[in-house]
Chains A and B, each alone.
Chain A
Amino acid sequence: MSRSLLAIGPATLEIEPLVSAIGGNAGADGAVVTFLGLVRNHNLGRRVTYLEYEGYEPLAVRVFERIDAEIATRWPGVRLALHHRVGRLEIGEASVAIVTASAHRADAFASCRYAIERVKQIAPIWKREFFEGGDVWIEGAVADPDDAQARAEAERVACA
């Protein structure tokens, strides 16, 4: 996977290289918050065996850049790293890794939560769930990056 801070691809996700990549900001950071989204072995009462993720990768990178810009507006000074995986993922593997760094923990926590909420709202990524007895495409949010209400909801959750 690219060493870029914003990326999507098939490589296994690791949080530590992302923490290193986001850097220490010459000692000015007071907080780094990390989030790993994992493949869970159950969903809606089904026993999940594995997931397949698919993305529209060039658009996904643009969406990650958009989320980065939204965070820079809402929480000035916060830095974001965001990697999403695609392909077949086994139970317990990480599908998404997010790191935020800031002078203060409140901004780092809030922006990290905001980033995952926005990924779920507008990133062009889909998971196909394989479970005991079948498989199904999971369809969540109707993706509209200009939907101000969705953005406000992500911010509300992030700051709750």
Chain B
Amino acid sequence: MTVRLFARLRDIAGAAEFVKDAAPGDTIGSIWRQLVADYPELGSYERSISSALNADYARMDQLLRDGDEVAFLPPVSGG
């Protein structure tokens, strides 16, 4: 699967995109926790993160499969 990070999340992790193998039982939330373990500064977004699956908003408990595109979105500031 592909994991995409936007805006300041990308700056913190130093990459816009990661490729990971989906393990059985992986959810959007479990991928997020792996990212926070790798990049602890992401932890400050725990309560403000939004997530998307295959370019549609999705909840953290959503299960993942290989080939999915997961995205993590910090608070937005369009307009």
Contact = CB atoms under 8 A, between A and B. Distances in A.
B57 interface: yes
Contact of A126 (B52, B55, B71, B74): B74
Contacts of A124: 6, 50, 52, 71, 73, 76, 78
Of A56, A127, A144, A146, most buried by chain B (CB within 10 Å of CB) is: A56
Interface residues of B, number: 20
Contacts of A141: 75-77
Given A54-B6, A56-B6, A137-B7, A142 B75 contact: yes
B79 A119 contact: yes
Given A59-B56, A142-B50, A116 B79 contact: yes
Interface in A98-134: 116, 119-128
A37 interface: yes
Dominant SS among interface residues on chain A: mixed
B3 to A, nearest CB: 13
A154 B57 CA distance: 19
A140 interface: yes
Interface residues of A, number: 33
Nearest to A126: B7
A26 to B, nearest CB: 32
Nearest to A125: B78
Interface of A: 37, 53-56, 58-60, 62, 84, 95-96, 116, 119-128, 137-146
